[in-house]
Amino acid sequence: MKGISYTFEKVPMSDEKSPKLYPGTDKRENLGTIFARIRTSSGRAKIKTGITIPRAWWERGSITAPRRGQRDYQQHKDAARALATFAERLERVAGIVGIDDADQLRRAVEVTATMQADDITASTLATLMTATSSESVASALRDYIASGTSLRNAIARQPISESVRRRVASIASAWQRWDSSHRQPVTLASITRDDVATFLAWYAAQPASGRGRRPASGSNRSGNTLAVTASTLRTALTWCSNRHGITLAPDLFQDKPREQYSTATPYYLTSDEVAAVAGVAVDTPTKRAFLFACMTGVRFGDLATLTADNVEGDTLVYTSHKTATATSVPLSPSTLQLIAGRRAGQRLFNLPTAATYNAQIRQLLRAAGITRNVTTSSGRQPLCDVASSHLARRTFVGRLVDAGVTAEVIQSMSGHARGSHAFARYYNVSSDAQRQALTKL
């Protein structure tokens, strides 16, 4: 498209987490957003592309020219694809609405932020452009679910996860119940900081009804649940506001609760216990997957999607769905044996649902005789009764820490971010470790 140029502007970062799409730096002040500038008949239109990158990428002009072998190669690739996708969408929109009115062009690009260029037609764009701002928040949240894509994943052409879909559906239902007590339903255009704070306070007092290990009847939702709820609500409302061309108040989530991290040392399997699990006289996908995760630290969400293509020689290479970071882990001969015979494109493991997988892990630990008590938020309980898929990841990290491997090396394989609260808990030094260290003097 002629007459278009791109600029880089520093992101005014708050005390929130850094954007996850292109985590190429640990210094938030070095992150910035790319803007497109288009010359129109009524002046220049400045349009946010939604692409956040480190300043160093912009200065060296490498966003569209990633080099294989770079540490952040995958992030470069995603950023370059995102910019190309934006350019296609901009050209399609400009072809429909023209470039005579800068404000109209800007709004047309904003309301199609979650769409691909091929899906934009004159009729759909007209509908979006004339959409009123009177839509209720609950209805807008359901629109987000129906779209199937978040702001970030719309660029990567990936659907939102089923867990996020269920969480947003739960929030939408709760918001509708809370909204029924108002004479005037809260809309996207009218929602305020007080509305969000009041809803979260009401939501906190509602009886929890989670799945799996359900809280005691009548118990209220935890602080961490509220923090996740607020973050999910913010993501969904941001999507909805972009879709409808509405600007949300900048302080809308200023009072949102923050997650609290436990300082207790995580429990995990010892080397002998891993060997005991391996010695259980069954050969099931769950057993192989659990042992594989114990040796690689892969999260369940990533484990379920790994294919033979993620194995390059004796190294596992994948991009974490949670953190969008490229990770590589060397595989030992015994670990490679767990996935022997897999063909190109074939899933490494055919896993059941998360709930069934966790139940089978607990059965596996009972069969291995691993019944020692561990400290949980509910007190002391047998490990075989509280084990889940994440126990494998904790086992991978915990055993490496016990072996004296440096934090930098472990994090390069586990994918934990620098300064991670979850990772720091593994370095609560025990008295036995202190005594062992003194023997080296």
Buried b (16+ CB within 10 A) or exposed e, 345-354: eeebbebeeb
Structural domain boundaries in the chain: 1-130, 132-260, 271-438
Greater confidence, 222 or 216?
222
Average pLDDT over residues 71-90: 73
pLDDT at 26: 44
Q: Which DSSP symbol is given to 29?
A: G
pLDDT digits (tens, 9 = 90+) for 331-364: 999 999 999 988 888 999 998 888 899 999 999 9
The dihedral sign for the CA sequence 415, 417, 421, 425: positive
Contacts of 301 (CB under 8 A, 6+ apart): 161, 321, 322
Q: Three-class SS of residue 46?
A: strand
Q: Look at residue 21 and tell me whether its pLDDT is greater than 70.
A: no
pLDDT digits (tens, 9 = 90+) for 36-52: 888 777 677 788 787 77
What pLDDT band is residue 281 in, cutting at 50, 70 and 90? very high
pLDDT at 254: 74
CATH of 271-438, one of 1.20.1440.230, 3.40.920.10, 1.10.443.10, 2.40.50.100: 1.10.443.10
* Stretch among 88-92, 224-228, 380-384, 433-437 having the lowest mean pLDDT: 433-437
d(CA 208, CA 404): 41
Closest C-alpha to 393, from 377, 410, 375, 407? 410
Closest C-alpha to 294, from 280, 312, 275, 308? 275
Buried b (16+ CB within 10 A) or exposed e, 136-155: bbbbbbbebbebebbbbbbb
pLDDT at 262: 59
Q: Look at residue 382 and tell me whether its pLDDT is greater than 90.
A: yes
Q: Look at residue 437 and tell me whether its pLDDT is greater than 80.
A: no
Highest mean pLDDT among 16-20, 80-84, 115-119, 273-277: 273-277
Q: Look at residue 17 and tell me whether its pLDDT is greater than 60.
A: no
d(CA 45, CA 85): 19
Q: Look at residue 70 and tell me whether its pLDDT is greater than 60.
A: no
Q: Which DSSP symbol is given to 309?
A: G
Segment holding 58, helix H or strand E: helix 55-60
Provide, rounded to the nearest whole percent, the portion of the chain with pLDDT above 70: 71
Average pLDDT over residues 291-303: 92
Q: Look at residue 432 and tell me whether its pLDDT is greater than 60.
A: no
C-beta of residue 309 within 8 angstroms of C-beta of residue 344: yes
Class of domain 132-260: mainly alpha
Structure-token pair, residue 360: 């089978």
C-beta of residue 320 within 8 angstroms of C-beta of residue 367: no
Contacts of 124 (CB under 8 A, 6+ apart): 115
pLDDT at 289: 95
